[in-house]
Chain A
Amino acid sequence: GENVEQHPSTLSVQEGDSAVIKCTYSDSASNYFPWYKQELGKRPQLIIDIRSNVGEKKDQRIAVTLNKTAKHFSLHITETQPEDSAVYFCAETTGANSKLTFGKGITLSVRP
């Protein structure tokens, strides 16, 4: 069945440092991998996504990489800022009914 695991469950970095959050998945038919950010008291929002035919995608300070052979994908945040502090959820889908399977979330804390 579908399963997405996130590592680590919490991460604390110094402002200005980089942060990397990794997810592994089990379904080889998965073809779309989004990352959602949920700030405290707010709703989750999509911040970046990647399709299975692409190895890397960047958007300013964030990037996502995908390794289909190893079945893992990672979120990279460079030059972290306090406003990056949030819970980050990875997800995957095979496209069936547009259903996403989410990981349990990682709490990122950026220390000023």
Chain B
Amino acid sequence: DVKVTQSSRYLVKRTGEKVFLECVQDMDHENMFWYRQDPGLGLRLIYFSYDVKMKEKGDIPEGYSVSREKKERFSLILESASTNQTSMYLCASSSNRVFRYEQYFGPGTRLTVT
């Protein structure tokens, strides 16, 4: 059974703080993704990675960066948190070994920036 975990379910940070969101998957998946979910806007891709140390910008990368030093771990970094980054953040992973592109999601981190 695929397991994707995220470091926190709820997080409250102050404007200007540096924020780290961690995601770990245990199925040896090559691909990992970070999304933010806002009401009425669906799932918007921030960054993704298809290999260790590789990263690609998604649709809304501004204000974010990522790190993938190990295959199982993908970190999202908010260099200087702002109130408009208050959102639900979802991590996902998928395998290249099956032609299905199924993404397995983590439970989400609800981030509030005050």
Partner-B contacts on A (CB < 8 A)? 9, 32, 34, 42-46, 49, 89, 93, 95, 97-105
Contact = CB atoms under 8 A, between A and B. Distances in A.
B102 A99 contact: no
A49 B48 CA distance: 22
A97 B43 contact: no
A101 B33 CA distance: 12
Contact of A46 (B35, B40, B102, B107): B102
B30 to A, nearest CB: 8
Interface string B48-90: 1010000010100000000000000000000000000000001
Contacts of B35: 102
B105 A45 contact: yes
Interface-central residue, A34, A93, A98, by most chain B CB under 10 Å? A98
Contacts of B25: none
A94 B41 CA distance: 22
B20 interface: no
B45 interface: yes
A95 B101 contact: yes
A95 B48 CA distance: 14
A50 to B, nearest CB: 11
B40 A104 contact: yes
Contacts of B107: 42-43
Contact of B105 (A43, A98, A101): A43
